[in-house]
Structures are given as C-alpha cells and as structure tokens.
Structure 1
Amino acid sequence: MLILGLLIFLGIHCVGFFPEWRQRRVDGMGLLPWKGLYSLIALAGFVLIILGFQRARLDPVVLYAPPAWLGHLNSLFTLIAFILLAAAYVPGNRIRARLGHPMVVAAKVWAFGHLLSIGLLHDVVLFGAFLVWAIVAFAKLRRRDRAQGVTYAPGTLKGDVITLVVGVVAWALFAFWLHGALIGVRPFG
C-alpha cells in the first residue's frame, strides 16, 4: 500500500516533467477539471502513503541502526527544509531567486535528513522515494528553466528575514507539537 501510494503521489507530481502532455490534457478537459483530477489523484496517493506507512509501522524491519547524534543532525536538516519551504511562498526572498524551486530542495533536505537518522525499512522506502523524486525533479525543473530562459526576481533583505522567521516558527510548531500529534513521534521528547 505504501509503495502504491508513493507511485501514485510522486507519479502525478512528475506530470510537470512532460509539459506538452499536460497541456494536451488541460486543452482537452479544461484547466479546472484538470486541476480537480490532479488533486484527487494526489490525494488518493497521499492517503495510501499514510495508510501504508501506518501498517508498515506495525511490523518494522530494521535495516540499520544510526547513532543518536544523527537524530540531532536531522533536526537541523528539517529546520533548513522548513526555511526552504517558506522560501517557496514568501515573495521577494533571495533563496527563491537563487534556487528557483526551493520546495523541491526542501523535499531533498527533509528526506535526506530522515534517511540518515531512521533505519527502518518503511522509512527508507518513504524517504528514499521522496529523495530520488526530488533529485530528478530539481534537475528537470532547472534544465527546463534554463531552456526557457526563466529568471526569478531578485530578493530583498526584508524577504529573507520574513522567510527565515516564517520557516523557523513553522519548524518549531511542527517539531515541538504537530509532529507528535500527526506522526506519533516526538522529536524532542
């Protein structure tokens, strides 16, 4: 179930790699129906990931036992990922101007940090799949940007500060409260 969910969720998120195919679907059905179908498929994949991950946690398979300090390093990686995620939405920041696709980089950093710190099979499948997808997605998106001459507006110090504050606050809320409530694991006890 976890693998099927990953194939569906990450698969639909690969549609952007094929802009001509995507545009033919949009032209054939209209933009709003396309967005609705895309969202339903992504949601179905996400639900399968959650259910599959929950089931896999009931019978864990240990692949490796990382040292405890990698958990602390993962906290740093996750903080960086939240700042990168904020950079995808906060206008006028230099992170977005530099990276172009900070959300995809956030997924890479998040997945890599979790792979370092958790050695269970279901975690490796989940985070490994996201890491591979994010590496491929970033390369494809940057190549597309260069081919199309896409440039991003230069950021400002104000945009950087807002991005940093939003990212740190969101990380703190998630790390100290939401992660335990939603995932069932409290990174800080």
Structure 2
Amino acid sequence: MLVLILGLIIFLGVHSLSIINEPFRHRLLERLGEGPFKGGFSALSAVGLVLIVWGYGLARMEPTLLYAPPAWLRHVALLLLVPVFPLLVSTYFPGRISRTVKHPMLVAVKLWAVAHLLANGMLHDVLLFGSFLAWAVIDRISLKRRSGHPVPTLPTKPANDATAVIGGLVIYVLFVMWIHQWLIGVPPVVM
C-alpha cells in the first residue's frame, strides 16, 4: 500500500502545484524555462503513475474490504462512465461540449472516480479513486481563483463535438470490451 500512496503523492502532488502555489509554479517555470519545466513535470508524473500502477497491483494481492457494493452498482458505474471518454476527447477538440462543461477533463476524472467508488469497496480502490476525486474537486474549486493553463488544442469547430462524442464512445467500447481487461486484469462486463 505504501507504493500506491507514494505514487499518489508524487502524481497528484505534481498536478497540484498550481492549486497549492501558483506564483511558485510561475517562478519555477521562468527560472527553468518551458522545456525543462515541462520535462521535469512529465518525468515526475511518469514516476508517480508507474508507482500508482505498481502499488495498486501490489495492494490488490492483499485486499482489505471496506464495503461490499451491490452488484447492480456495476451497471450504474458503466453508465456513469459513458461520457468520460467523450469529455476527455473534447478537452483537445474544443467545441460546444468543452465550452459548456468548461473543464471537461476534470469532470471526466470526477465521473471516472465516482463510478469506480460505486463499484469497488476495497481499501486500495477507495484510496486510488477517492484521491483522484478529491484532487479533481479541489482543482476545480481552485480554478475559480487562478488562471487556467492553456491546453494545446485544435481550433474550435462545430465538427469537434462530433469527433469528441464518436471518438470518445469508440474508446469507451474498446475499454469495456478489451482494454480494461488487458490493462487492469478485470473485465468491466462479465459475459
């Protein structure tokens, strides 16, 4: 469990720099330059992500049950996950969706986390998904008092919404049918 916690601290800590101290982030960016700053950010994020994946796998070998969700919540979770990939795609293909939602990636992270908390009641699940949910909520609240960072996107076009929805739903189906089993080792739908 310690590896998972360390990974969460590193990954979410790096992604919380703007939440905690926006002026420090700007000073660091100016001092290091954009390339080294983004390189360091990416390297630390990758280390955190690797530790999260490794730690989650280790924690699954010695599970601690916190709560046992009823089986029907798996269906609710699958339904909540439907908009997650379209929202993620709309982050980079701006249109009406991203304009209406304002922060589609954060909404996607919150839906992803809530869905997984509904369907999983082990300590390692609550730690992983609860941490991401808390981070996304705090980040969204903090965006009200700070300026967001520009995300590289394509130009805003009406067709981007269709791309986000169709592309996102295709990714969702691939995840449900194959990728989740391959990456995580757990089939979301038992056939």
State the TM-score, normalizing by the size of structure 1: 0.90
Deviation at 1:157, TM superposition (A): 4.8
Deviation at 1:64, TM superposition (A): 0.8
| Alignment partners' CA distance in 2, 1:137 and 1:157 | 28
1:32: which partner in 2? Answer: 35
| Alignment partners' CA distance in 2, 1:170 and 1:42 | 23
Identify which range, 16-25 or 41-50, moves more after superposition: 16-25
- Sequence identity of aligned pairs in percent? 44
2:153: which partner in 1? Answer: none
| Alignment partners' CA distance in 1, 2:141 and 2:106 | 10
1:175: which partner in 2? Answer: 176
Amino acid at match of 2:58: R
1:59: which partner in 2? Answer: 62
| Cα contact 2:74–2:119 (8 A) shared by 1 | yes
| Alignment partners' CA distance in 2, 1:68 and 1:111 | 18
Amino acid at match of 1:124: V
1:127: which partner in 2? Answer: 129
Q: Deviations over 1:99-141 (max 9, x none)?
A: 2210011000000010011101100000000000000111112
SS in 1 for 2:146: helix
| Alignment partners' CA distance in 1, 2:189 and 2:119 | 14
Identify which range, 157-166 or 172-181, moves more after superposition: 157-166
| Alignment partners' CA distance in 2, 1:109 and 1:78 | 7
Q: Deviations over 1:144-189 (max 9, x none)?
A: 359xxxxxxxx76533222110110011111111100010011112
2:152: which partner in 1? Answer: none
1:149: which partner in 2? Answer: none
Please give the residue correspondences for 1:1-189 in structure 2 after superposition, counting only pairs within 5 Å. Answer: 1-17=3-19, 18-91=21-94, 93-145=95-147, 157-189=158-190
Q: Which runs of 5+ in 1 are unaligned?
A: 147-154
| Alignment partners' CA distance in 1, 2:75 and 2:32 | 48
| Cα contact 2:22–2:146 (8 A) shared by 1 | no
| Alignment partners' CA distance in 2, 1:167 and 1:118 | 24
| Cα contact 1:64–1:120 (8 A) shared by 2 | yes
Deviation at 1:16, TM superposition (A): 2.3
Matched residues, number: 180
Amino acid at match of 1:90: F
SS in 2 for 1:107: helix
State the TM-score, normalizing by the size of structure 2: 0.89
Q: Deviations over 1:15-43 (max 9, x none)?
A: 12233111111111111011111111111
| Alignment partners' CA distance in 2, 1:138 and 1:82 | 19
| Cα contact 2:110–2:136 (8 A) shared by 1 | yes
Deviation at 1:70, TM superposition (A): 0.5
| Alignment partners' CA distance in 2, 1:83 and 1:66 | 27
| Alignment partners' CA distance in 2, 1:53 and 1:169 | 27
SS in 2 for 1:67: coil
